[in-house]
Structure 1
Amino acid sequence: MQVFTDIACHLATAHQGDAKDAGAVLSDRPPSLQTLVLYGQRFGGIEPHFKDYKSAAFEVLHSGLRNAQALTCLLMLLDCATLIAVMLGMLLLQAGQHTVIDWHGERGLSFLQLGLRQLAGLCYQRLPLPSLVALTQTNPPPACASQKKRTAFDSRIEFSKVIAFSY
């Protein structure tokens, strides 16, 4: 298959047993189950990032920027801001202070949202940022704002559970 007439690629499709539709991945690598597993791992981390850029935190679409270089610079700055906010959110959780900002029974806000709200509070009170420390080596449990979201998360379909693969 050719994309834009000069980029060779492969289309891999897979169908998970109880899923209504098949999944598809366009890749420069020959199709394999590993292709779908890698895509699933990448997508799980990328999709929330796009949501944060578009609506959950930064509203990039409202920036009015159309220049590629300006957008690249903005996204680099937002990545730095995201890292700082996530670190602040994790510090709150480690100190057991997240409940001051997040009133859900369990942690319902993402680390980004916790950190952004903490940052806003620090700015409002004209307090300095706390010393930032390295992120933990293990992933903490994901945030879920409701039991419905927790159930949806626990029963999500992952590409690593593909049972049929077609070339």
Structure 2
Amino acid sequence: MRLTLHTDYALRTLLYLGARPNIRVSIRDIAEAYKISENHLVKVVHRLGQGGFIKTIRGRGGGLVLSHPPADIIIGTVVRFTEEDMMLVDCDGVSTGGRACLLAPSCQLRGILGEALNAFLSVLDRYTLADLLKPADLSRLFPELVQSSRDNAEDV
């Protein structure tokens, strides 16, 4: 199974915001950090806002922040919300204009793949954004945060 770019960017956005608690960031900041399309990220951020994962604050001093603590954002929930189609095979012919697979009446593949998908999502449900933001991992994910905290320490 492969997640869409939309979900990939959504998870990256949440990681970026989670690593910067209480700091409002812009879509441009995130796009530049990951070297991804700002236009595509606008759609992702809009969707994350619709899902209640992030808050978008307009105007001067505005930006993006998480709506909930990272420990309350379940990865499986994010994936279910951002993936439009979790169908692994098209037995019913949805993508082929209603032409169902000839094997559909007696094939066991749909059930097996459904079970596999449920197992996949079950694993994701065991993890939160906080699990992905452990301090030791943050320095690898966002080296600029380590440098920024060093710079701030020197200013004191």
Shorter-normalised TM-score: what interval?
Answer: under 0.3
Which gives a bigger RCO, structure 1 or 2 (Cα 8 Å, sep 6+)?
1
Structure number with the higher strand fraction is 1
Structure number with the higher helix fraction is 2
TM-score computed with the length of structure 1 as normaliser: 0.24
TM-score computed with the length of structure 2 as normaliser: 0.25
